Amino acid sequence: MKVKYFAWVRERVGKAEEFIEPPATVRTVEELIAWLSGRGEAYAYAFEKPKVIRTAIDHAHVKADAAIAGAREIAFFPPMTGG
Amino acid sequence: MTSATTTTCPVAIRIQEDDFDIAREIAVLTKSRTDIGAVVSFSGICRADEDSSKIAALTLEHYPGMAEEEIKRHVDEAMSRWPLNGVTVIHRVGRFEPGQNIVLVVTASQHRRAAFEAAEFLMDYLKTSAPFWKKEESATGTGWVEAHARDDEAAARWTKS
């Protein structure tokens, strides 16, 4: 699946997007964040406060317990500050 | 055929780097319409200070694709809640200095109350739900603007119980 990062999450991870293949045991957004955090210091830093991170699956906001099965694009970002 | 019976609600949603002209956007929305009795426009402008620090510039980043869809979802909800005759939402992205336009919401209706309320509803949701992020430049460096609880509270008052 494609993963996108925005604002300071993007800066901390060090890239805007990538393709990932998490193991089948990773079923929810929460589990995906934990799995990503284990991929290296940059990820651990970006996701150090997982509750702050907002997630969208295929352009719609979702909660931490949302299933990731079938997702084409998952995005992680800080709380929005537009307007 | 008279346009007095027109009940269409044209919607324009644009995310762009270019500036907008408020008068022109209102004129586009109301041209050849005789059913519109009220137009409300809100424009958000980059200001020079945030709390106690002086801002040199703001950079707006967005999530292309999702930003338009998220605004559309809320425009659709606004149209289901108020009898609107036209909606325009323009959000700029890029780097802005104090005094420059950032966002525009224009709502048209037969009567003022619907236009006022729909514009406020759209702005509250734009701030808390549309995927845009602001980065500030000041004398002490750059940093991402943090979301305010007051914006979440403003959006929450529109939640149907």
Q: Do B133 and A6 touch (CB under 8 A)?
A: yes
Is the ipTM, as predicted for this complex, more than 0.90?
yes
- Whether chain A has a CB inside 8 Å of the CB on B92: the answer is no
Q: Three-state SS for A76? A: strand
Q: What is the pLDDT of residues B129-160, one digit of tens each?
A: 999 999 999 888 899 999 888 888 888 888 87
* CB < 8 Å to B130, chain A: 80, 82-83
Residues of chain B with pLDDT under 70: 1-7, 161
The residue of chain A with its CA nearest to that of B143 is: A8
Residue at token pair 């929005």: A80
What is the separation, in whole angstroms, between the first and last Cα of chain B?
Answer: 42
DSSP labels, B94-152: EEE-TT-EEEEEEEEESSHHHHHHHHHHHHHHHHHHS-EEEEEEETTEEEEPPPPHHHH
Matching residue, tokens 């701030």: B127
Give me the phi and psi of B155, to 5 degrees please: -70, -35
pTM confidence score: 0.92
For chain A, the distance separating the N- and C-terminal CA atoms, rounded to the nearest angstrom, is 30
Chain B residues in contact with A83 (beta carbon < 8 A): 44, 91, 102-103, 123, 126-127, 130, 132, 151
Q: What is the pLDDT of residues A7-60, one digit of tens each?
A: 999 999 999 999 999 999 999 999 999 999 999 999 999 999 999 999 999 999
pLDDT at residue B161 in the model? 56
Between A77 and B8, the higher pLDDT residue? A77
